[in-house]
Homo-oligomer: A and B are copies of this chain.
Amino acid sequence: MTNPTAAMLVIGDEILSGRTRDGNTFYLAGELTRHGITLREVRVVADDHVAIVAAVNALRAAYDHVFTSGGIGPTHDDITADAIAAAFAVSIGIRADARALLEAHYRRAGLEFNAARQRMARIPEGARLIDNPVSTAPGFTLGNVHVMAGVPNIFQAMVASVLPTLTGGAPLLSQSLRVNRGEGEIAGPFAALAAEFPDLSMGSYPFVQNGVLGTNLVIRGTDSGRLALAMTRLAALFPESLA
């Protein structure tokens, strides 16, 4: 059985302008790998209705799951929910259960439940709410698209709400060996080893530390026995490697 596939769609002008460095992709990538879902593609698009709709429709057709971050707050630049509804060609409006959650939240906080905040209860027809234990305003799942907040701690809480509901595959395992040689020296024997293990993925990542050139050799796969065998072979190829 091959693992389910996924894509991430980051929505936000602030990422594209260089104002904010996206960290949600890195977080989600690690969580999906542990859960046995293969992240195959990431896209970042602006707060632009047409761009969001096009990306959502391309990605939901190509992968088993799509995770989005950003654009579900109360301000005028938060247009993700409407774009998702448009992508699925369903209606969108204030939903009673989401509105009740938010109303109770703002009542407890002693804050006005004004029109902007009520906007966060706009949910596309047919969606399931995603719990937000941080600040109440929910995300939602529509079809295979999971729509979450961009604020990192809320995004992470929503990922924790969604992931256990998804069927994962075998977690992707990885082991690495660090060698004190440049990529150009190890490339030949490393490629030969990779050809012997077509079921595993082997990558090399050069680095410079304290002025010394080295390479991390990484082997990834879902079968721990095959991974162990390949690592034994790799260590024999480069006996001077560091543990």
Contact = CB atoms under 8 A, between A and B. Distances in A.
Contacts of A177: none
A104 to B, nearest CB: 15
A31 to B, nearest CB: 8
Contact of A184 (B26, B114, B182): B114
Contacts of A172: 17
Interface string A13-36: 111111111110111111111000
Given A20-B205, A76-B187, 16 more contacts: A13-B201, A17-B220, A18-B27, A18-B29, A18-B30, A18-B33, A19-B174, A41-B45, A47-B203, A74-B183, A74-B187, A77-B194, A112-B185, A116-B185, A116-B187, A116-B191
29 contacts: A13-B203, A15-B42, A16-B39, A16-B42, A17-B29, A17-B172, A18-B26, A18-B32, A18-B33, A18-B39, A20-B205, A40-B45, A41-B45, A41-B51, A42-B42, A42-B44, A43-B44, A47-B203, A73-B183, A75-B187, A76-B194, A76-B195, A76-B202, A77-B194, A112-B185, A116-B185, A116-B188, A119-B187, A151-B207
Q: Which 5 A-B pairs have the closest CB atoms?
A: A116-B187, A18-B29, A18-B30, A76-B191, A42-B44
Interface of A: 10, 13-23, 25-33, 38-47, 51, 73-77, 106, 111-112, 114-117, 119-120, 151, 153, 172, 174, 182-188, 190-191, 194-195, 201-208, 218, 220
